[in-house]
Amino acid sequence: MYRSFHIKSEIRVLAIDDSALIGDQILIVGAFFRGGEWLDGVMRAHVTRDGMDSTEAIVEMVKSSKHFGQIRVIMLDGVTYGGFNPVDINRIWELTEIPVVAVMRAYPDLRKIEDALLHLPEPKKRMDIILRAGSITKVRTKPGSNPLYIQCAGIEAQSAANIVKLTATRSNIPEPLRVAHLIATGIVLGESRGKA
């Protein structure tokens, strides 16, 4: 079942990215945007490096946010965080009733992912979660730009592609994801320098 909605220029998007793999607890940052123009809020949580808690951490972060009632789309940077901590995008959609769009810069090599997972506990369970994200759609945000690839839950692929294009205002990457990445990287680098 898809949530139907009109895609407004200032659609509220929560984009989530993770930081560098420093330590066992990996920071994830949510950047709450109006379209691809205005940053309206920032939230944070942690996931276990190569763990199995990304889905729950994201759901908790979203539901506890003061912006929860306004979020129309959750945008993720792929379907794994903190190394190979898999995200169940369909479960996030079920628990939050907010459509989810996972954005990837390259088409995933599922064979390589499967081989890498063999070195971690519960490799089959992890792979099943990754595969549950479903079909992959190619999106070009700008003519002649490198393609992105998306997977989605709770929203049709064409609508998801339109949101990705709408929010890619300053580069090929949707601005909410670009900013979430910059914030996550900046916080972790700042904290690591402070400890040195």
> Sorting pLDDT into bands at 50, 70 and 90, what band is 196?
very low
pTM of the model: 0.92
In three-state secondary structure terms, 116 is helix
Distance CA(78)–CA(100), nearest Å, equals 11
Question: Is the per-residue pLDDT at 180 higher than 60?
Answer: yes
Give the tens place of pLDDT for each residue, 75-134.
999 999 999 999 999 999 999 999 999 999 999 999 999 999 999 999 999 999 999 999
Pairing, β 100-104 against β 148-153: antiparallel
Question: Is the per-residue pLDDT at 141 higher than 80?
Answer: yes
Distance CA(94)–CA(48), nearest Å, equals 22
Domains contained in the chain, CATH given: 12-188 (3.30.2170.10)
Write out the H or E segment, with its range, that includes residue 102. Answer: strand 100-104
Determine the pLDDT at residue 22.
82
Angle between helices 54-64 and 89-96 (to 10 degrees): 30
Pairing, β 80-81 against β 12-18: unpaired
